[in-house]
Structure 1
Amino acid sequence: MIQRLQTLFLFAAFLLNGGIFFNAIYHHAMDDPQAWVGIGFAIIVTIAAMGSVGTIFLYKNRENQLRWVSRLLVPQVVAIGFAVGIYISLGGFGTYLWDETIGLGLLVLALASQLYARKKIRDDIELVKSMDRIR
């Protein structure tokens, strides 16, 4: 389980999503006068983070793991959408929003990590199929 690259990438996605809770963009979301923005952002990021950890333990059934990783891309993209909305509502793009930009970058890196994990799962599936053809 640990020796597979997709496990490392899924764990990296978990860490990157978890890092949002210690970032300025999360604090701005929680300070928003519309409470649903902060709560929705927290729920979506939690789903994306916990889903990444949960799919690590589906390593025995690669097709199922691939399906769940593909499904987890949706909450990750929604979390990026929330973050972009919060980022733009802070006054646009500027040099004074470095902390918020780092938070947005963490979410984009988590998405890239999930996409790369999905690619590696597909590679494993193809490797197993090719080995079955040889037998």
Structure 2
Amino acid sequence: MIQRIQTLFLFIAFLLNGSVFFNALYRHAMDDPRGWIGITFAIMLTIASLGSLGAIFLYKNRESHLRWVSRLLIPQVVSFGFAVGIYISLGGFGTYLWDETIGLCLLFLAFLCQLYARKKINDDIELVKSMDRIR
């Protein structure tokens, strides 16, 4: 489990998503007067974060592993969309929004880590299929 590269990338995605909770972008989301934006952002971020951690333990069944990692891309994209919306609602792009920009970059890097893990799982499946053909 640990020696597989996709495990490492899924764990990095978990850490990156979890670190957004301690970022200024999350604080701005929770300060929303209506409240539903912050709560939805927190729920999607939690699903993406804990899903990445849970998907690590599905390594024995590669097809199921690939399916779950592919499904986890949806809450990741939704949380990134909420983050972009929160970022834009803060008043545009400028030098005073560095902390919020770091939060956006963390979410984007987590998305890239999940995509790369998905690619590596797919590569493992193809490798096993090719070895089965040789036998």
Query: Residue 93 of structure 1 aligns to a residue in which SS?
Result: coil
Distance 2:52 2:34 in 1: 28
Shift of 1:12: 0.4
For 1:9, the aligned partner's letter is F
For 1:93, the aligned partner's letter is F
For 1:111, the aligned partner's letter is F
Distance 1:83 1:58 in 2: 29
Indicate the residue corresponding to 1:101 in structure 2.
101
For 2:15, the aligned partner's letter is L
Shift of 1:34: 1.4
Indicate the residue corresponding to 2:35 in structure 1.
35
For 1:15, the aligned partner's letter is L
Distance 1:62 1:54 in 2: 14
Map Cα deviations across residues 59-94 of structure 1 (whole Å, 9 max, x no partner): 000010000000000000000000000000000111
Shift of 1:50: 0.5
Percentage of pairs with the same residue: 80
4+ aligned runs moved over 3 Å, structure 1: none
Aligned residues: 135
Distance 2:105 2:34 in 1: 24
The TM-score normalised by the length of structure 2 is 0.99
Query: Residue 92 of structure 1 aligns to a residue in which SS?
Result: coil
The TM-score normalised by the length of structure 1 is 0.99
Indicate the residue corresponding to 1:80 in structure 2.
80
Give structure 1 stretches of 5+ with no counterpart: none
Distance 2:48 2:11 in 1: 11
Shift of 1:32: 1.1
